[in-house]
Amino acid sequence: MLNGPSIKSPLKDWDIMIDINLRGLMYVTKASLPHLSEAVKESPCRVVDAVNISSVAGRFAAAQVAIYNATKFAVTAATEAWRQEFTRQSIRFSVIEPGATATGLWDAKGQWEGFKAMFGDVERLHAEDIAEAVSFIITSPRRVAINEIVVRPTDQP
């Protein structure tokens, strides 16, 4: 999340966000697809899950967040496309879009200070909150596909 004025942002920062948020997702998904297809055959409930993590930044665009927004929009879009492509093969693709979460992500270039200036000092989500959403998705009965979950801190606008 290397955000800031686009005119001042080095392309290197843009490449880093694209490499991590988009290429990382693509490479992991490509490598996992054969394993997911095989796992369906052995699954007691005849379904397997791929859960991707995007961001609420993948739902709306904001000034000075263009590339991060673009990569997170791409995560959500790719997940939906894969959901459609693999649903008949019993591979459920889901995306979770967390709001402000207590991670090291906020340490980069004073990101938390910029967030607080826009939204106030909200109590951030914990990793366990996102893990509960993942658990909800993967423990749902075969007949239920949870396509998308947005999780925000209570006080985040």
| CATH code: domain of residue 42 | 3.40.50.720
> Is residue 2 domain-resident?
no
Q: At what angle do helices 66-86 and 24-42 cross, to 10 degrees?
A: 20
Report the predicted TM-score, pTM, of the whole model to 2 decimal places. 0.88
Least confident of 45-49, 79-83, 135-139, 151-155: 151-155
Say if residue 118's pLDDT is above 80.
Answer: no
pLDDT band (50, 70, 90) for residue 139: very high
101-118: average pLDDT: 65
| Predicted local confidence at residue 94, as pLDDT | 98
Q: Which residue is catalytic, options 2, 22, 67, 68?
A: 68
> Is residue 6 domain-resident?
no
> Is residue 49 domain-resident?
yes
| Predicted local confidence at residue 117, as pLDDT | 61
Residue type, 125: L
> Is residue 91 domain-resident?
yes
> Is residue 144 domain-resident?
yes
Query: Domain range spanning residue 45?
Result: 11-151
Q: Is 68 a catalytic residue?
A: yes
> Is residue 138 domain-resident?
yes
| Predicted local confidence at residue 106, as pLDDT | 62
| Predicted local confidence at residue 112, as pLDDT | 62
| Predicted local confidence at residue 103, as pLDDT | 73
Q: What is the 3-state secondary structure (H, E, C) of 68-133?
A: HHHHHHHHHHHHHHHHHHHHHHCEEEEEEEECCECCHHHHHHHHHHHHHHHHCCCCCECHHHHHHH
| Predicted local confidence at residue 111, as pLDDT | 63
Least confident of 57-61, 66-70, 91-95: 57-61
Say if residue 19's pLDDT is above 70.
Answer: yes
How many domains, the chain? Answer: 1
17-26: average pLDDT: 96
> Is residue 63 domain-resident?
yes
> Is residue 93 domain-resident?
yes
